[in-house]
Amino acid sequence: MDLQVISAAAMEALGGQFAKAVGGSCVIYLQGPLGAGKTTWVRGFMRAMGHTGATKSPTYGLVESYHLAGYDIHHFDLYRLNSPDELEDIGIRDFWSSHSIYIVEWPERGGDVLPPADIKINFLYDGTARKVSGIAYSSTGHEIIGAIR
């Protein structure tokens, strides 16, 4: 999946499309530089799942959790993480369940403490538009990306 996204509204809409395509528990990794649209994508995802409040990046707290549409959704932002061991300190394994959706920004900082991704979405900004590409790593990931095309 390779897309060009030209506005914040379009990025939110894309996040919403992913939310509508999710049919169960999954792990979504979001990678890209600061300002590339990751948190905007998450905002659209959360709104499509029924969240009506503000969706903020959990940069300082590492995780924001929501209970929406029958799922526990955990949004991790690991930008300020110094070591994967810090995830163990916050009890990250307590978040894992079979009926949860995990969205992880900056997953490369989590090392092998994180569960493997079903989908990895890469965000780039070239000065005029965001380039969004997705790669599926499981049958769940293939189903979700297939619904986006």
Strands 100-105 and 119-125: unpaired
Task: Measure the CA–CA gap between 112 and 9, rounded to whole angstroms.
Answer: 34
Q: Could you report the per-residue pLDDT of 31-47, keeping only the tens digit for each?
A: 999 889 999 999 999 99
Share of the chain above pLDDT 90, in %: 55
**What is 24-126+139-148's CATH superfamily?**
P-loop containing nucleotide triphosphate hydrolases (3.40.50.300)
Domain ranges for the chain: 24-126+139-148
The pTM score is 0.91
Q: Could you report the per-residue pLDDT of 73-121, keeping only the tens digit for each?
A: 999 999 988 888 888 887 777 777 777 999 999 999 998 888 899 999 9
Reported confidence tier of residue 133, pLDDT bands at 50, 70, 90: very high
Task: Measure the CA–CA gap between 47 and 39, rounded to whole angstroms.
Answer: 12
